[in-house]
Structure 1
Amino acid sequence: MQDKRNRTVLESGRVRFVHLDKIRPNPSQPRRVFDPAGLQELADSIRQYGILQPLTVRRMPGGLELVAGERRLRAAKLAGLKEVPCIFVTVDEIQSGMLALVENLQRRDLDYIEEAEGLARLMRLYGLSQEQAAMKVGKSQSAVANKLRLLKHPPQVLEALRKGGFSERHARALLRLPVEGRLEALEVMAARQMTVAQAEQYIESLLKPAAQPQSKPKYIFRDVRVFLNSLDRDLDLIRSAGIPCDLGREETEQEIVLTIRLPKTRPGKTA
């Protein structure tokens, strides 16, 4: 049960003890996954030391709504508590959602997917721009943009990333692949237990086009032979006119080099 001395200290401030059944969850709670083992550890701690940080609630028609402290609330129920210490705040729906998200961000209770989903939900519900959302949660606009890019993954890929324990950098690298190839790539990455660097190299290899076989050089022997035959006939005409001439030829895989030697004067004449 809650330590009496702890309760006395809490009640001396702006904290009141509230029955658990009077507190309803925050619909803007960004956290979606709660580790059972972690909750049990927190419940054991609460049984021994009580709740050291009060929950934050706001008054609503028909009861109270949790603003921040979802994990502590769940652990308190596991611990068998009937009531929990709460701080009452006067906030609207937007502020309530903001406080829930900011508390989780500051405590690092969210995984990167929940953080991205929480940011997107706040922007969608309250019409915030990336810049406005960044200011609200104390992050740079570029950091918010990078988080939101992760939501370009379809739900099944996001779930596979979470279940596989992949990091945010793994998730960002995977965005380079076409959507239809991402799940298969994740299976390979998981089977090989790839680091971020290894995953980036693997994805780069998938994006490279298959090496095209080198086409064999196309020879134009028919046209060359026609030219050579024509040249030979022309040289025969020169020789028949009494002018000696010589045709030299060197041939490689790439070219044929022809050298024609002619005297500057006719035979028997001097310059």
Structure 2
Amino acid sequence: MENATENSNSTVTLKISELEPNQDQPRREFDDEALAELADSIAQHGVLQPLLVRPIAGGGYQIVAGERRFRACRMAGVQEVPVVIRELSDGQVMELALIENLQREDLSPIEEAQGYQTLMEHYHFTQEEVSRSVGKSRPAITNAMRLLRLPEEIIHMVSGGKLSAGHARTLLAFESEDDQLQAAQLAVKQGLSVRELEKLAKKANAVLHGGDERAKRVKKRPVFIEEVELSLNEHLGRKVKIQEKGKEKGVLTIEFYSQEDLQNLARLLGGEE
């Protein structure tokens, strides 16, 4: 190994046996075919981008960013790899690993949501700090994390690529976990589009709340109400419902997904942002 200056951006070389993956990194699934292609490229051209690592107690280094390259190097039989060594906290490691995977669009929607959740629950990031770190809006972070409210079986379907993030968000509209599971299984079996699943959700909820007559009344809502509801959905980045209670009054329902999210919503509605 070459002499390494820690917390430097200079590249040094380490034996691959000195490196170990980060068990808490956000990415869980690696495509074998894509790894094989990367291994072939590395065998021909070498590792073009160094891995980011940090020293660990007892010797050796933990991979912060670049586990995909590390796996491909092992497949290619590479013995040494270029690295940049930095002293980093656990929170910084998670943040950098999440950012790298998001930039490469390597994460499934569920892995992305779990990454945000880990930063907030284990490393005490606020939603605003997560937003700044990954370069996404707070509504986008909130919407991503909503997927974790789905039943575990559906989460596995999304992680495995059987359902898209759009399908998953639509399944949240079903009012019970049983309905969500049945709709998810139907979507997979029949190859339903997101739009078809949305229609199914509206029909199911209409029947649940009063049958066909209720569905007819929902369809007759004023266009203005529909447009306001849609506008609030987009502006607030969350599910919003407007229920009329007569000609000139009604109930506005706004979902929130955590105590911090509720505080952020209160500030937003109070005109602080």
Deviation at 1:28, TM superposition (A): 3.0
Alignment of 1:19-34 (within 5 A): 19-34=15-30
- Tell me the residue number matched to 2:45: 49
User: Which of 188, 206, 210 pairs up with 2:186?
Assistant: 188
**Equivalents in 1 of 2:90, 2:160: separation in Å?**
32
d(CA) in 1 for partners of 2:25, 2:159: 19
Name the amino acid aligned to 1:51.
V
Q: How much has 1:164 moved relative to structure 2?
A: 4.8
CA–CA distance in structure 1, aligned partners of residues 110 and 161 of structure 2: 13
Please give the alpha-carbon distance, in whole angstroms, between the structure 2 residues aligned to 1:203 and 1:57. 46
1:110 pairs, out of 107, 111, 116, with: 107
The 1:39/1:49 distance shift into structure 2, 3 A limit, reads: same
Assess if the C-alpha contact under 8 Å between 1:116 and 1:148 holds in 2: yes
Whether contact under 8 Å (1:46, 1:76) holds in the other structure is yes
- What is the rounded CA distance, in whole Å, between the counterparts of 1:154 and 1:191 in structure 2? 18
**TM-score, scaled relative to structure 1:** 0.70
1:266 aligned residue: none
1:28 and 1:100 in contact (8 A); partners too: no
1:98-247 equivalences under 5 Å are 98-177=95-174, 178-209=176-207, 210-211=211-212
Q: Is the 8 A contact 2:19 2:62 kept in 1?
A: yes
Rate the CA distance shift 1:146–1:104 in 2: closer, same or farther, 3 A. Answer: same
- Tell me the distance in 2 between the aligned counterparts of 1:164 and 1:55: 28
Q: Deviation of residue 38 (structure 1)? A: 1.2
Q: Distance in 2 between matches of 1:71 and 1:164?
A: 19
Give the aligned partner of residue 92 of structure 2: 95
Residue 68 of structure 1, aligned match among 30, 53, 65: 65
Q: Distance in 2 between matches of 1:156 and 1:132?
A: 30
| Structure 2 CA distance for aligned equivalents of residues 118 and 162 of structure 1 | 13
| Cα distance, 1:133 vs structure 2 | 1.4
Measure the CA separation in 2 of the matches of 1:28 and 1:162.
17
Q: Is the 8 A contact 2:27 2:111 kept in 1?
A: yes
Query: Take 1:159 and 1:28, find their aligned partners in 2: how far apart are those partners?
Result: 18
Whether contact under 8 Å (1:58, 1:64) holds in the other structure is yes
Distance 1:26 1:79 in 2: 21
Cα distance in 1 for residues equivalent to 2:185 and 2:142: 27
Q: How many Å separate the matches in 2 of 1:82 and 1:183?
A: 47
| Equivalent position of 1:80 in the other structure | 77
Letter in 2 for 1:137: V
Q: Where does structure 2 lack aligned partners over 5 or more consecutive residues?
A: 1-8, 214-273
Amino acid at match of 1:97: M
The alignment yields a C-alpha RMSD, in angstroms, of 1.5
CA deviation map 1:55-110 (0-9, x unaligned): 00111222111110011101110111111111112322211111111111111111
More off after superposition, 132-141 vs 50-59: 132-141
Structure 1 residue ranges without an equivalent (≥5): 1-12, 213-271
Q: Tell me the secondary structure at the aligned position of residue 192 of structure 2.
A: coil
Partner of 1:42: helix, strand, or coil? helix
Structure 1 residue aligned with 2:6: none
The size of the alignment, in residue pairs, is 200
Distance in 2 (CA, whole Å) between partners of 1:29 and 1:200 is 33
Counterpart CA distance in 2 for 1:111 and 1:162 is 6
TM-score, with structure 2 as normaliser: 0.70
- Could you tell me how far 1:27 is from its partner in structure 2? 3.2
> 1:30 touches 1:115 (CA, 8 Å); kept in 2?
yes
